[in-house]
Amino acid sequence: MKKTAVRTSALFVAFAFLLSACTQTNSGPAPTTTTNPSPTAGSSNAIPIGIALALTSNVALLGQEGVAGAKIAEKYFNDKGGIDGTPIKLVIQDTGGEEAGAINAFQTLITQSQVVGIVGPTLSQQAFSADPIAERAKVPVLGASNTAKGIPEIGDYVARVSAPVAIVAPNSVKAALKINPNIKKVAVFYAQNDAFSKSETGTFQETVKEQGLDVVTVQKFQTTDTDFQTQATNAINLKPDLIIISGLATDGGNLVRQLRELGYKNIIIGGNGFNTSSIFTVCKALCDGVLVAQAYSPDHVNEINKTFRTTYLNQYKKEPPQFSAQAFAAVQVYVEALQALDKKSEISKLPLAQLRTELNKQLLAGKYDTPLGEIAFTPVGDVIQKDFYVAQLKVDKDGNNGKFAFLK
């Protein structure tokens, strides 16, 4: 009689397992379809590329931008004939904002959807968690928005197209000095609960010191904060000539707005988190003049960016944000590496494991002309990007139309 409870619980465990097993069989061999299938996506021999980004949770916005870029890439390259006639097919899995969600998405993509490679995940913290899974399974991963230190070092199969902050950040400080050579006092703000902002601010502060400038205060905030009155007045009291903000678009934009409303008139530099047009919806007209160093500029002159930008503009009625461009570039790297590989040995004949390994080697070796400009990879898998940009936000008076204007 004592066994009843144990037996029952064992039954429940079995039931739970069964539940997941059933759903797996239900989904059958047909792998996940994208939510926006391209014309050729139905064909069974399409090459699956995994997209593991956040579509839900509080980082959903970033993930949604990435997915938009990747989908444009899918259509663009399939329209151009795919890989020697074989189309690619994006398999999109939501990672949510959690580490576990990223791992689950990776697992599903690797074993169930049998993808050749993965683009993602959204957050660096998620990458630290999920990338080792791909590494162990020997599946290439391209980070499209992971900029924290140490990501490519996770393993041989991990690379990224998102330039790490250390490279991008200094450009904007130089641009600011070009606009106002008399800058002396600098106030620095950063979001201390955001891994990316935290490492970015380090780079900013080093750059400021290298330029012989004086950091008068470092103010911390959280990405979930909304009110910055205290930090802002603290900084303004010290009369800085330049304020550098490392944060995400919403909190950063809010901070800009409150700084301006409280009477700060000098130059503001925004970090990489400002690289999205959603910044305009936060600070509207008050964003005007903010400098942002970019890994991407919609104004970049090359053929592929022109097409990308036009497509994006047509579809979403606004300039493509950096995360979309980076996701596009990541898909492009896969496509072009697959094409190159296909020329050496027909990829449809390669077993999946070998294809993944070969693909990883190939993609690290190649050079790509992407909407980001020309990129290549270091042996460890970090991106080598030729062009960086400093843009100044230009917003019209009523705050409804904003764009990133290129500084050169």
Partner 1 sequence: MAGFLSTYGFLIVSMVMGALLGLSLYLPLMTGQLSLASPGFYALGGYIAAILSTQVFKVSDGLYPIGLVLLEMSIAGVVSGVLGVLVGIPALRLRGIYLAIATIAFVEVLRVLSLNLDITGGAVGIFGIPQPFLTPIEYLWIVIPLLLMSMVLLYRLERIRLGRAFTAIREDELAAGAMGIDPTYYKVLAFTLGAILAGVVGAVSAHFLNTWNARQGTFDASIVYLTSVLIGGTRTFVGPVLGGMVFTALPEVLRAIADTAGLPLWLAQFLRDGRLIIFGLLIVLGTIFFPQGLVTPDLFKRRKDRKSQS
Partner 2 sequence: MDITLFVQQFLNGLSIGSIYAIFALGYTLIFSILGIINFAHGALFTLGAYFTYALMGEAFGLNGLLANAALPVKLPFALALILGSALAGLVGVAVERIAFRPLRRKRADSLLTVVSSLGVALVIVNLIQYLVGAENYTFPGNTYGNLPAAINFGTAEKPIPIRTVQVVIFGVSVVILTILTYFINRTKYGKAMKAVAEDPITASLLGINTDGFIVLTFFISSFLAGLAGTLVASSVSIPGPYFGIAFGLKGLAVIVLGGLGSIPGAVLGGVVIGLIEAFVPADYSAYKDAFAFGILFIMLLVRPQGLLGRRFVQKV
Q: How many residues does the chain have?
A: 408
User: Which is nearer to partner 2, 138 or 198 (by Cβ)?
Assistant: 198
Q: Which of 41, 165, 283, 295 binds partner 2 (CB under 8 A)?
A: 283
Q: Which residues, other chains included, contact 25 with Cβ-Cβ below 8 Å and sequence gap of 6+?
A: none
Q: Rule CB under 8 A: is residue 260 a binding residue for partner 2?
A: yes
Q: Rule CB under 8 A: is residue 26 a binding residue for partner 1?
A: yes
Q: What is each CA distance from 259 to 225, 228, 232, 264, in whole angstroms?
A: 15, 8, 6, 6
Neighbouring C-alpha atoms within 13 Å toward the C-beta of 164: 21
User: Where in 76-95 is the site for partner 1 (CB under 8 A)?
Assistant: 93-94
Q: Which does 96 bind (CB under 5 to 8 A by kind): partner 1, partner 2, none?
A: partner 1
Q: Rule CB under 8 A: is residue 34 a binding residue for partner 2?
A: no
- Closest alpha carbon to 35 in 20, 22, 53: 53
Q: Which does 19 bind (CB under 5 to 8 A by kind): partner 1, partner 2, none?
A: partner 1
CA distance 151 to 128: 7
Letters for 118-137 (x = contact with partner 1 by CB under 8 A, - = none) are ------xx--xxxxxx--xx
Alpha helices of 248-321 — where are they, by DSSP H?
249-261, 278-283, 303-316
Q: Which of 13, 18, 19, 262 binds partner 2 (CB under 8 A)?
A: 262
Residue carrying the six token digits 């988190």: 273
Q: Which of 167, 177, 192, 350 binds partner 1 (CB under 8 A)?
A: 192
Strands 373-377 and 367-370: antiparallel
CA distance 36 to 163: 29
CA distance 141 to 356: 10
Q: Rule CB under 8 A: is residue 203 a binding residue for partner 1?
A: no
Q: Which of 61, 134, 195, 208 binds partner 2 (CB under 8 A)?
A: 61
Q: Rule CB under 8 A: is residue 17 a binding residue for partner 1?
A: yes
| Count of C-beta atoms within a 10 Å radius of residue 149 | 16
Q: Which does 43 bind (CB under 5 to 8 A by kind): partner 1, partner 2, none?
A: none
Q: Rule CB under 8 A: is residue 382 a binding residue for partner 1?
A: no
Q: Rule CB under 8 A: is residue 216 a binding residue for partner 2?
A: no
CA 146 centroid distance within chain: 6
Q: Kindly write down the DSSP assignment for every residue of 189-225, as one continuous string.
A: EEETT-HHHHHHHHHHHHHHHHTT-EEEEEEEE-TT-
CA distance 169 to 165: 6
- At closest approach, how far in Å is the CB of 277 from partner 1? 22
Contacting residues toward partner 1, per CB under 8 A: 1-2, 4-6, 8-9, 12-13, 16-17, 19-21, 23-24, 26-28, 30, 32, 35, 55-56, 93-94, 96-101, 103-104, 107-108, 110-112, 124-125, 128-133, 136-137, 148-150, 154, 192-195, 197-199
Contacting residues toward partner 2, per CB under 8 A: 56, 58-61, 64, 192, 217, 219-222, 224, 226-227, 229-231, 233-234, 236-237, 249-251, 253-254, 257-258, 260-263, 278, 281-285, 316-317, 398-399
